[in-house]
Amino acid sequence: MSATIDINSVTKAYGALTVLDDISLSIEAGEFVVFLGPSGCGKSTLLRMIAGLESVDKGTIHIGGERIDTLPPGKRGVAMVFQTYALYPHMTVAQNMAFGLENLKVDKAEIDSRVQSAAETLEMAHLLDRRPTKLSGGQRQRVAIGRAIVKEPKAFLFDEPLSNLDAALRSRTRLELAQLHQRLGSTMIFVTHDQVEAMTLAHRIVVMHDKKIEQIGTPMEIYQRPATRFVAEFVGSPAMSMMPITGIVSAQSSDQKGATLEVEGAGMVATQVPLPASFALDGATMGVRSEDTHVVQPGADGLNLTVTVVERLGERTLLYGKLDTGFEMIVEDSGRSTVRAGETVKFDFDRSALHVFDGTGRAYHMAEEA
């Protein structure tokens, strides 16, 4: 079973502190949506409002067309997996999963069969009689997911469920969650501040920042066409390098595809990004991702980078350094790079992969190919 979720102009404040301001969002049935954002941006709060653990100050929430923000948590047909798992410590794994169904007066035989099948799905049939204290972190996590599955909810809500796992287990569980979603086809909302989780799991990512939704889009849209400077800097590792734009040589020439800019540290840059006449120049920046840069031969055209830190990632090498003007920049080199800290190298960047941000942080991209 899966259902649509419609969040309509939802606002939340704790006393004088507004945490969410007029949030609207529609989630399709069966969609996997990730709320991504820095710590404290209100991701958990929004999720808990859907679950019914926080009240809604203004606005409405509908699940499957039914208004639910006035219902108690247990009547909303959602299941939640907590970061701390929140298993009942005094109950066995089987009892943990059965408890919610018993409250709903589900038939005993039906409970048993659901618990059994969830345990098989999650490969933990041998753990059913254990207490949570006798389980590893990863196993507890499975139980928490199992407890959600047996309820056959209209939607699953996950609040950073992977953040207490070690790196290897985290990536494995991530994969399993994706598979689980494929099998169940349920609507899922997943909260994280880990962009890798967001990129790999989501159909659509909701990037949140400062009480607002910054952008909603597929992982590729978010990565390649970030709507704002915040999204551009938050998503992607290493972070996008930003250079100040000091002037516009031509906003949009007819023969060229985009504007030619005067960029501090890089001189004249012919971009493929068309800009409107109303472009707010004050505080505008040009962004370059490290993968769109490359080191060039000493004699060739390019910019100087004085390397301060070399980060070898195996398949590629990241050079952290400063331009002649003092701006920090991250440049990518091949995995076999011999560059060392302290050296100065020449690099160039791909003119067709530039991002332009105006003074308000709004992003401009090259025209989409038709």
Q: Which residues bind another protein (CB under 8 A)?
A: 51-53, 72-75, 78-80, 82, 84, 86-90, 99-100, 103-104, 147, 151
Residue of closest CB approach to ligand ATP: 44
What, of another protein, Mg ion, ligand ATP, none, does residue 74 touch, CB below 5 to 8 Å by kind? Answer: another protein
Q: Residue 319 in contact with residue 332, Cβ under 8 Å?
A: yes
Single out the residue of 90, 46, 94, 52 nearest to residue 69, CA to CA.
52
What, of ligand ATP, another protein, Mg ion, none, does residue 100 touch, CB below 5 to 8 Å by kind? Answer: another protein
Host H or E run for residue 46? helix 43-51
Residue 22: Cβ-neighbour burial (10 angstroms; 0-12, 13-18, 19+): middle
Residue 83 or 306: the one with the smaller Cβ distance to another protein is 83
44 binds Mg ion (CB under 5 A): yes
Q: How far apart are CA 10 and CA 8, in angstroms?
A: 6
Q: Which two tokens stand for residue 75?
A: 């009547």
The alpha-helical segments, DSSP class H, found in 52-166 are 93-103, 108-121, 137-149
- One symbol per residue from 119 to 148: x for binding ligand ATP (CB under 6 A), - otherwise; what is it? ------------------------------
39 binds ligand ATP (CB under 6 A): yes
Q: Which two tokens stand for residue 335?
A: 């995995």
Smallest separation, CB 24 to ligand ATP (Å) = 17
Q: How far apart are CA 195 and CA 269, in angstroms?
A: 30
What, of ligand ATP, Mg ion, another protein, none, does residue 103 touch, CB below 5 to 8 Å by kind? Answer: another protein
Q: How far apart are CA 85 and CA 65, in angstroms?
A: 29
What, of Mg ion, ligand ATP, another protein, none, does residue 86 touch, CB below 5 to 8 Å by kind? Answer: another protein
289 binds ligand ATP (CB under 6 A): no
What, of ligand ATP, another protein, Mg ion, none, does residue 226 touch, CB below 5 to 8 Å by kind? Answer: none
Smallest separation, CB 192 to ligand ATP (Å) = 8
Residue type, 293: T
42 binds ligand ATP (CB under 6 A): yes
What, of ligand ATP, Mg ion, another protein, none, does residue 327 touch, CB below 5 to 8 Å by kind? Answer: none
Q: How far apart are CA 311 and CA 39, in angstroms?
A: 26
Can you say whether the dihedral through the CA atoms of 192, 178, 161, 138 is positive or negative? negative
Quick one: which of 114, 147, 181, 193 contacts ligand ATP (CB under 6 A)? 193
Smallest separation, CB 88 to another protein (Å) = 6
Q: Residue 149 in contact with residue 124, Cβ under 8 Å?
A: no
43 binds ligand ATP (CB under 6 A): yes
Mode of pairing for the β-strands spanning 303-312 and 155-159: unpaired
211 binds ligand ATP (CB under 6 A): no
Q: Which two tokens stand for residue 358?
A: 């105006």
45 binds ligand ATP (CB under 6 A): yes
Site residues, Mg ion (CB under 5 A):
44
